[in-house]
Amino acid sequence: MDSELQIALAGAGVAAVVLIVGYNKWQERKHRRRAEEAFKSEHRDVLLEPRAAGADTERTEPSFDTPPVSVADEPRRVREAPVKRVAPQPPELLSAQSDCIIQLEAIEPLDVQRIWSAQREQLSGLNKAVRWFGFDDTENLWRPLGDHSAGKCHWFCAAMQLVDRRGPIGEVDFMRFSGGMQRIADQFMALPAGLPARAEVLRAATELDRFCADVDVQIGVNVVAASAPFAGDRIESVATQQGLRIASDGTFHAQDGQGETLFTLGNLEPGLFASGGMSGVVTKGLTLVIDVPRVANGPEAFDRMMRTASGIAAGLSGVVVDDNRAPFGAEAASMIRTQIAQFQERMASYGIPAGGDLAKRLFAV
């Protein structure tokens, strides 16, 4: 009896243990299932899902600006960071070959006239021309600045010409220009976009001046009196018939269709001509001059000058001669015409086309 009771009690104990273990396993699975459901999301995991063929493979980086994703929203593209403002290229009219260029950047737009007044003070005394430009952000272009310019700009550009017919800039010019620009920048809390290297600028000026000196040619022919001197009134009448007009520089000018001077007619003797004041003029000769670097088509301009010289000589009873007073024949004219073409070809190959804006600056009268 006792042994049966012991066996029954032992069996009940084993069953209880089994029930307890089973209950614990059931509770553990129940809690695990709840945890999994709590972490489940209806959103697709774009990092774990394989991409479909042809799908956009662009990677989207996280950003503090990205709005929280809701269940109803699709993933949004991250907003791009603002683009940093980049310095504009210098104006097309300028070149490091012919100008010392310095740009200024202002954090806030600066009034153009304030800059213009400051540069007039800081850059006074320079021996070479300086041109100023302001960058129009709206039109995305540089505008020349002057006494009557208005508005505000972030970017300014100043350019000192390296060479003119008086020669190249020197170290004093460079230091005065660069130092003045630095003072302007300090005054307006602006930033110079890199000052040019002194040695490089002076070397460029010397090389450019050497080239300009080699092609700086003026060709002249003379019309001299065969007997009696030329009277002023008669000179003006004949010159006008040949299409020439007197100018403020004391010479008659022959111009092309755009009003550009091709050659001039002046007094071979000392003294200038003046509009309305030719009646008292008497001279034994006239000279016609073509400024080769400043004329776009030198050979054609020379041909016209020779025709004009012949017409004036006929109208005044004169003779066309060279500087040695020798008659100017067709052979000499052909030789000079060829030389003019060669000079202008050299200028074009150097990047300074004859008669262009740059040539007119470098060979300013």
Secondary structure letter of residue 83 according to DSSP = P
* Residues 46-75, mean pLDDT to the nearest whole number: 45
Element (H, E) at 120: helix 112-122
On whether the CB atoms of residues 280 and 287 are closer than 8 A, the answer is no
The percentage of residues in the chain with a pLDDT greater than 70, rounded to a whole number, is 76
Collect all residues with Cβ–Cβ distance below 8 Å to 250 and sequence separation of at least 6: 266, 267, 272, 273, 274
* Residues 322-346, mean pLDDT to the nearest whole number: 93
For 245, the 3-state DSSP assignment is: strand
Long-range contacts of 67-73 (CB under 8 A, 24+ apart): 69/43, 71/42, 71/43
For 113, the 3-state DSSP assignment is: helix
* Residues 46-56, mean pLDDT to the nearest whole number: 43
CA distance 150 to 169: 31
Beta strands 191-192 and 218-225 are: unpaired
CA distance 54 to 163: 61
CA distance 234 to 280: 11
- The pLDDT tens digits for 151-160 are 999 999 999 9
pLDDT at residue 51 is higher than 50: no
* Domains of the chain and any CATH numbers: 99-212 (3.30.1400.10), 216-362 (3.30.1400.10)
pLDDT at 32: 53
pLDDT at 14: 41
- The pLDDT tens digits for 113-127 are 999 999 999 999 999
pLDDT at residue 17 is higher than 70: no
- The pLDDT tens digits for 275-307 are 888 998 999 999 999 999 999 999 999 999 999
CA distance 46 to 60: 11
